[in-house]
């Protein structure tokens, strides 16, 4: 269940809230993965994409990290393209 959608919340408020959540996860590694991704993409995300992001952000950090790093398969009910995009963004940012 998403903590997400507040009835009547406008899209800019929703984007600000998601940006905050991306940078304040509780696990620094996830802050550094989700924060930059959300900063880069949130401005162009519409309602359906925000819905998918909120569902993903409701998951535990340890699980998210394992899915993004490819250590475990993600559940089928999560957006596989979003997880793949996060993984690619992470690899691109942290190439040596």
Q: Does some domain include residue 67? A: yes
40 domain-assigned: yes
83 within some domain: yes
Q: Quote the tokens at residue 51.
A: 């819905």
Instruction: Please write the tens of the pLDDT for every residue from 33-85.
Output: 999 999 999 999 999 999 999 999 999 999 999 999 999 999 999 999 999 99
Domain count, the chain: 1
pTM across the whole model: 0.85
Backbone angles phi, psi at 9, to 5 degrees: -70, 130
Rounded-to-integer distance, Cα 31 and Cα 37, Å: 10
Has residue 13 been placed in a domain?
Answer: no
What is d(CA 12, CA 33) in angstroms, rounded to the nearest whole number?
Answer: 22
How many helices (H) and strands (E) in the chain? 5, 0
pLDDT, tens only, 5-27: 666 689 999 999 999 999 999 99
**In a 10 Å sphere around its CB, with 0-12 CB exposed, 13-18 middle and 19+ buried, how is residue 38 labelled?**
buried
């Amino acid at each position: 269940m998403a903590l997400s959608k507040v009835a009547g919340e406008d899209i800019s408020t929703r984007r600000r809230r998601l940006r905050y959540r991306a940078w304040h996860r509780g696990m620094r590694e996830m802050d550094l993965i989700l924060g930059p991704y959300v900063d880069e993409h949130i401005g162009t995300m519409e309602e359906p994409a925000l819905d998918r992001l909120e569902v993903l952000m409701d998951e535990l950090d340890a699980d998210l990290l394992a899915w993004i790093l490819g250590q475990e398969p993600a559940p089928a009910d999560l957006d596989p393209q979003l997880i793949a995009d996060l993984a690619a963004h992470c690899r691109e940012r942290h190439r040596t």
